[in-house]
A and B are shown apart, each in its own frame.
Chain A
């Protein structure tokens, strides 16, 4: 099995120009780009991921410069999936972020053989914690800190629920951090490896955190749910878990699913099984260290 770290600079650039088959959990992305930031992002953040010549690819994506004057004047890039661009062009130095957002878009829009929920998932001692949450709740910061503290990252963005067995499938892709979260995690751990920052995106400054080698090695290993925890960062708040009704958790998860509404009874029953198996909590915290101690006790 060949990995991105096994490729020389020239080989990686050449493969990317022709189309690189990258496995992230159950998906094979065929990625084509000549953008420097795509190259360097994959080199640094996807080093442990397997690549190969796959017979079947799930998504064909491309990040490239449009064939107009914007190639030279304030250059832009376009993300394409199957030759269709779902987004407006972005500044060229946002190319890797565009690739990441585009990959998320592909999974959210097409992976209907899973129930897909907008949530992070991590695993410890054989059980998964799912972290849904509204934007700004501190979900990604907590996810990054947990992933640097012995929890296995399955996803920071899209939970994949198996429709037959109810297990959660990993993707093991980088954690997308925004604005002050980047500095918080850089200060939190010397082991944190980041890609280049993309400034002035529609989400502010964004940077991606490399998943651990173990996370990537185990990306074909699903996990059963243990807990659903809704994090909420609040300055100076002590870390506190409080029970949340499963019925309320169900409705929130349904409303924050990418494909529940198109799946009918199949989606309802899959979500019912997941929520029935989980303990559900609201979680307020002010300090990451306190949050980690709480999760340590939860998983013990």
Chain B
């Protein structure tokens, strides 16, 4: 596992006003939030973040650690930025919110 750090500290949860459903097709994921009523084709990173939140991993350090298990060594330098962007994007889509 990488020893790189993730500087932002926060805790997230799936938007509570509904249920998050997911379907994976050929390694790509579609999610639907029953509360927001919208369907989205999300990136692999976003799918894993949502998966982690559903599994009870809520804090950003935990999310970073979980994702770092899945990415290759050469992708590690981009992981922190990718996670930040993903969290912001999922928040804009009303799929997640700060816990």
Write the residues of chain A forming the contact surface with B, with a CB cutoff of 8 angstroms: 245-248, 250-251, 254-255, 260-261, 264-265, 268-269, 272, 275-276
Contacts and interface: CB of A to CB of B under 8 A. Distances in A.
A269 B21 CA distance: 9
A275 B40 CA distance: 15
Contacts of A248: 28, 41
Interface in B1-42: 19, 21, 23, 25-26, 28-30, 32, 34, 37, 39-41
A248 B25 CA distance: 10
Given A265-B21, A265-B34, A246 B39 contact: no
A251 B28 CA distance: 12
A160 to B, nearest CB: 20
Interface residues of B, number: 14
Contacts of B26: 245-247
Nearest to A280: B25
Contacts of B37: 261
B21 A251 contact: no
Given A264-B34, A265-B19, A265-B34, A245 B28 contact: yes
Identify the interface centre among A245, A247, A261, A275: most chain B CB within 10 Å of its CB.
A247
Contacts of A246: 25-26, 28
B51 to A, nearest CB: 15
A230 B5 CA distance: 45
A254 B40 CA distance: 10
Contacts of A275: 23, 25
A260 B32 CA distance: 11
Nearest to B21: A268
Interface string B58-89: 00000000000000000000000000000000
Nearest to A272: B23
A243 B25 CA distance: 13
Q: What are the 9 closest A-B residue pairs judged by CB atoms, nearest first?
A: A246-B25, A247-B28, A272-B23, A254-B39, A247-B41, A268-B32, A250-B30, A247-B25, A251-B41
A251 B25 contact: no
A271 to B, nearest CB: 8
A247 B39 contact: no
Nearest to A269: B21
14 contacts: A245-B25, A245-B26, A246-B25, A246-B26, A247-B25, A247-B29, A254-B32, A254-B39, A260-B39, A264-B34, A265-B21, A268-B23, A272-B30, A276-B25
A251 B37 CA distance: 13
Contacts of A272: 23, 30
